[in-house]
Amino acid sequence: MDDRIIRTEYSEEMQKAYIDYAMSVIIARALPDVRDGLKPVQRRTLYDMYELGIRYDRPYRKSARIVGDTMGKYHPHGDSSIYEALVVMSQDFKKGLPLIDGHGNFGNIEGDTAAAMRYTEARLQRVTQEAFLGDLDKDVVDFIPNFDETEKEPSVLPVKIPNLLVNGSEGIAVGMATSIPPHNLTEVLDGAKAYLLNENITTKELMRYVKGPDFPTGGIVINKDELLDIYETGTGKIKLRGKVEFEKTKGGKTNVVITEIPYTMIGANISKFLMDVAALSETKKTQDIVDISNQSSKEGIRIVIELRKDADPENFVNMLYKKTRLEDTFGVNMLAIADGRPETMGLKQIIKANVDFQFQVATRKYTNLLAKELEKKEIQEGLIKACNVIDLIIEILRGSKDRAMAKACLVEGKIDGIKFRSKESKIMAAQLAFSEKQANAILEMRLYKLIGLEIEALINEHEETMANIYRYEDILDKRDSMAQVIINELEDIKKAYGKKRKTVIENGQEAVYREKELEEMEVVFLMDRFGYAKTIDIATYERNKEAADAENKYIFTCKNTGRVCLFTNTGQLHTIKVLDLPFGKFRDKGIPIDNVSNFSSEKEGLVFITSQSELNLCQVIFVTAQSMMKIVNGGEFDVAKRTVAATKLGEGDRVVSIVSLREQRNIVLQSKEGYFLRFPIEEIPEKKKGAIGVRGMKLGEKDSIENVYYTQNAVEAVIDYKNKKIVLNNLKPAKRDGKGTKIRV
């Protein structure tokens, strides 16, 4: 038993296990190979379809069949990852060169997901079959055992194009991520040809061909001058904008029509964009919007924003660039697996890696083709030689007892046991020296091959074989010849599948948005007992004063450009921009203050609410349940943050009362046990908001402050305490920090 126990440091074992896991995710799951530009799941899916014979010119097969076969043979990591990879490889709005021809609902640009795999069908695209899988039968790449060593799978596909650039890639591994934008096939192939012709070409020179990313969604790249640095280092940020057009309507209004979106807006971000535009109108950031409609279809994107007649369309579009994802950034990190390890590469490095791979594939391909042609040459020469002495061959065959005797005569000239018609034939037979392969071909040759035309065809075929041998040897011996073969293949692919660029690349000007200056005005803040708040103009309030006072708990005036301050029993101060509150009709419901601030009605209670401008002009008295109190200058609460601590509280304490200090002269503290203490406000010291304050009243062990009252000189203040009327002005004046007088009822 002891022999099977491995004694090791736990931390070392964990570290080793985590590193193994991380490398497995990096190498075998999340990152693409620089040679074929494919992640393992993509490579395995395409190879499985190739093995199943689901070619471009054959019927579609159920996606579930493909996914199940791939998972069972090559990728044992769940069907969802395989189907997702299959779906993405078929989406022309995500891939510059779709590799799979999908039939059925494979999702759309607006974020609708593909139908379940049991409903959709798929087959290979023609370009995938020709440029990705075409040479697999020529032993040009290594095959490795699958996960259970019952099958063989290619370690890399013999892709003839720099697919990593053409289709890009996105993936998150452990501690690293890749984000490579798609590029135009024609430009990438031109760049690869330029490198083949001049290995010392610079990145700047390569960018004469590969001008920048070409997103399937089009759009505009507006930082052209920064692309060189991005392509040299392999990292950076590409700034994208959607394409916008202006359409005049019959009524003289202008429609802003978005015809192309940034690549980063694909999916749910389109609906998010529409919501953001609507929010601009709802929050009064702009009042130019009349209507928004998404008229997109299979033909393309068309988002129409109808503007008011007097709106400035250019300024409005600049606002969209500033405040929505109509202008966005694409983070570039060209990370891929090169020589078995992750590496961040620039444009030239990626093209170089792919071209080097093309030379490796071509070398193996033409080495194998040359071997086959040399074998054909040997056999053809044997058959031609045999045709010249066909009478002798026939005599040997007729005189031999078995195949072995005839073959020995053809290969080694052994004539023992063979019956010849003449001595001359015997002498000639002894001189024969065919090779093993030639002898087998002669013995298997059919009689019709002796027809004159067949012999002539054999001679022509031999001449063709010799031409192929010369060509293959030339390709293998001379780098320029092999480079030209690769260039010719690239030209054929470019001619068959090349398309025009969709994305415009330019140095766009910074979007300058001129916000209309908001006219400052006094408004009335209203909030009911349920926490719904709104603002109305003063004239509306005056007309509905009686109803407003009856229906609302908090009412005060403030500036529409100002802020509202909410003090809670937990000692927090939350601020709300008045502009974030709905402004309009008196009967409008309003909005919960929880929605426009960090205040949570479930976790804290509202103690005091006022405007920032009013707070700045006064002092504030704080009283807590444990009888701690202080006066704070209201200007201390003029802060930029949405939430700050308004006061310091002891353990288990809470704020009971906060009021602004005006004409009050005395304060009356009432405890839960019925003690009342009245003393002058002058005895409360002024402190900073971060101070805990001083004790206002001596409390019993289980007692706490329940209510706080204020009185003015010569103004009678009466309260109802347990059905008993108490005149606060008649309470005996005392000093702060006294026990107070108990009121008996």
In a domain, 210, yes or no: no
Flag whether 316 is in a domain: yes
Q: Are residues 68 and 113 in the same domain?
A: yes
Single residue among 158, 188, 205 that ends a domain in this structure: 158
E-assigned strand segments in 578-733? 591-592, 606-611, 619-624, 628-633, 643-645, 655-661, 666-671, 675-680, 694-695, 705-711, 718-721, 724-727
Identify whether 74 is a catalytic site residue: no
Residue 609's SS3 state is strand
Do residues 491 and 546 both lie within one domain?
Answer: no
DSSP secondary structure string, 457-525? Answer: HHHHHHHHHHHHHHHHHHHHH-HHHHHHHHHHHHHHHHHHH-----SEE-BPPPP---PPPPPP-EEEE
147 and 100 together in one domain: yes
Q: What is the DSSP string of 521-558?
A: -EEEEEE-TTSEEEEEEHHHHHHTHHHHHHH-SEEEEE
Q: What share of the chain is helix, strand, coil (3-state, %, to 5)?
A: 40, 25, 35
State residue 728's pLDDT score: 87
Task: Please name which of 338, 365, 342, 343 lies closest in space to residue 353, comparing C-alpha atoms.
Answer: 338
Q: Are residues 451 and 487 in the same domain?
A: yes
- Beta pairing class for 504-505 and 220-221: parallel
Give the span between the Cα atoms of 83 and 70, in whole angstroms: 10
Res 1: pLDDT: 47
Tens of pLDDT, residue by residue over 43-102, are 999 999 999 999 999 999 999 999 999 999 999 988 999 999 999 999 999 999 999 999
Give the model confidence (pLDDT) of 230-250 as tens digits.
Answer: 999 999 999 999 999 999 888
Which pLDDT score is estimated for 448? Answer: 65
Contact 706/666 with Cβ under 8 angstroms? Answer: no
pLDDT band at 517 (very low <50, low <70, confident <90, very high): low
What pLDDT is recorded for position 424?
82
Mean pLDDT of the region 619-623:
94
Q: How far apart are CA 619 and CA 633, in angstroms?
A: 5
**Distance between terminal CA atoms of the chain?**
84
DSSP, collapsed to helix, strand or coil, labels residue 693 as: coil
Answer whether residue 126 shows pLDDT above 90.
yes
Q: How far apart are CA 647 and CA 627, in angstroms?
A: 14
What is the CATH number for 69?
3.90.199.10
pLDDT exceeds cutoff 80 at 14: no
376, 486: one domain: yes
pLDDT tens readout for residues 553-598 = 999 999 988 999 999 999 999 999 998 888 878 888 888 999 889 9
pLDDT digits (tens, 9 = 90+) for 143-175: 999 988 999 999 999 999 999 999 999 988 777
Give CA–CA dist 668/158, Å, rounded: 89
Assess whether 588 and 723 both reside in one domain: yes
CATH number of the domain at 312, please. Answer: 3.30.1360.40
Mean pLDDT of 171-186: 88
Report strand pairing: 675-680 vs 718-721. unpaired
Question: Which among 18, 21, 119, 470 is annotated as catalytic?
Answer: 119
Do 380 and 488 belong to one domain?
Answer: yes
261: in domain = yes
* pLDDT (average), residues 118-138: 94
Token code pair at residue 507: 């140095």
What are φ and ψ of residue 327, in 5° steps?
-120, 125
- Is residue 585 within 8 A of residue 536, CB to CB? The reply is yes
CATH code: domain of residue 402: 1.10.268.10
**What pLDDT sits at residue 667?**
92
What is the per-residue pLDDT for 23?
62
Residues contacting 44, CB < 8 A, separation 6+: 70, 74, 75, 82, 153
Q: Is residue 597 part of a domain?
A: yes
C-alpha separations of 232 from 115, 170, 332 in Å? 41, 19, 12
Q: Residue ranges of the alpha helices (H) in 1-152?
A: 10-25, 40-52, 63-73, 79-88, 126-127
Q: How many CB atoms lie under 10 A from the CB of residue 608? A: 21
Cβ neighbours of residue 187 under 8 Å, at least 6 residues apart? Answer: 209, 210, 211, 214, 501
How far is 162 from 185, CA to CA, in rounded Å? Answer: 9
Provide the H-helix boundaries in 586-710.
Answer: 593-596, 612-616
Query: pTM of the predicted model, to two decimals?
Result: 0.73
Task: Give 202's DSSP letter.
Answer: -
Which pair of tokens denotes residue 122?
A: 């798929």
Query: In residues, how long is the chain?
Result: 745
The number of distinct structural domains making up the chain is: 4
Cα 478 from chain centre: 44
- Which of 674, 679, 729 shows the shortest CA–CA distance to 700? 674
Question: Is position 355 within any domain?
Answer: no
Q: Are residues 538 and 489 in the same domain?
A: no
Rg of the Cα trace of the chain?
Answer: 43
Is 561 in a helix, a strand, or coil? coil
Side chain identity at residue 211, one-letter code: K
Q: Mean pLDDT across the chain, nearest whole number? A: 89
| 479 & 533 share domain | no
Q: How confident is the model at residue 497 (pLDDT cuts 50, 70, 90)?
A: very high
C-alpha–C-alpha distance, residues 381 and 61, integer Å: 47
Residue 223 domain flag = no
In a domain, 138, yes or no: yes
Q: Would you say residue 348 lies in a domain?
A: no
What gap in Å lies between CA 554 and CA 526, rounded to an integer? 6
Say yes or no to pLDDT of 207 above 70: yes
Q: Residue 128 carries which side chain, given as an amino acid letter?
A: T
Residues of the domain holding 710:
522-742
- Which of 134, 158, 182 is a domain's end point? 158
Beta strand pairing call for 243-248 and 61-62: unpaired
Q: What is the pLDDT of residues 238-295, one digit of tens each?
A: 999 999 999 988 878 889 999 999 999 998 888 889 999 988 887 777 888 889 999 9
Task: List the one residue out of 586, 370, 329 whose CA is nearest residue 472.
Answer: 370
User: Is the pLDDT reported for residue 733 higher than 60?
Assistant: yes
The listed range with the strongest mean pLDDT (185-189, 407-411, 688-692) is 185-189
Shared domain for 557 and 472, answered yes or no, is: no
pLDDT, average across residues 502-511: 87
| Cα 578-582-583 angle, rounded to 5 deg | 85
What pLDDT shows up at residue 579?
A: 85
Tell me the C-alpha distance between 100 and 121, whole Å: 10
Burial category of 716 from C-beta neighbours within 10 Å (exposed 0-12, middle 13-18, buried 19 and up): exposed
> Span 514-525, mean pLDDT?
78
CATH code assigned at 659? 2.120.10.90
Please check whether residues 735 and 607 belong to one and the same domain. Answer: yes
Handedness of CA 9, 13, 19, 22 (dihedral sign): negative
How large is the average pLDDT for residues 660-686? 91
Question: Does 369 lie in the same domain as 454?
Answer: yes
The first and second tokens of residue 620, run together, are 């504030």
* Exposed/middle/buried for residue 175 (C-beta within 10 Å: 0-12, 13-18, 19+): exposed
Cβ proximity of 470 and 477 under 8 Å: no
